[in-house]
Amino acid sequence: MPTKTLNSNYYVWPKESHSSLVCDGRITDQIVDDFGVNVKIRVVNKPSFNHYGDASKSYSDSYSKAYMHQWRITDDEVKEGIYKDGQIMFVFKPEDGTKVKTGNFIFYNYEWYKITSVEPQIFAGTHYLINAIVKVAQLSD
């Protein structure tokens, strides 16, 4: 149903059915901006081999902002079995999607974390957050 604007003689049709500030990411981006922490993302490139046949890894580092959450037994998601007590998750904006991949690393608070799984959050066909489930790791992992 159309909504009438104030001081106007015409109607403004609402956006698509479920499109809103949440859907187009502005509110969810604000969560990362307001409550996020600065992190280093280490993208691990596929191993290559030198002249002697030894495997060598290369990587590239970049910096971003993410909201860090550690799941607790009192969280509904833990009670429902979606996440485990103590499990750590970093939440990123969608523009970090090319860097936030399984096998890459996140450095935060003097600790390295290996990304074990990535869960894109999609609502009404729009990517609005990326959850990176991690475990404490050594760079040699």
Per-residue buried b or exposed e for 21-41, using 16+ beta carbons within 10 Å of the residue's own CB? eebebeebbeebeeebeebeb
pLDDT value, residue 20: 44
Query: Any idea where the domains of the chain sit in the sequence?
Result: 18-136
Distance CA 64, CA 6 (A): 41
113 CB-near residues (< 8 Å, 6+ apart):
88, 90, 105, 106, 107, 134, 135, 136, 137
Apex 83 CA angle, 26 and 33, nearest 5:
25
3-class secondary structure, 50: coil
Q: Kindly indicate the confidence band of residue 16, based on its pLDDT and cuts at 50, 70 and 90.
A: very low
Under CATH, what is the fold of the domain 18-136?
Answer: Thrombin, subunit H (2.40.10)
Burial (CB count within 10 angstroms: exposed 0-12, middle 13-18, buried 19+), residue 108? middle
Per-residue pLDDT tens digits for 114-135: 999 999 988 777 778 899 999 9
pLDDT digits (tens, 9 = 90+) for 61-92: 999 999 999 999 999 999 999 999 999 999 99
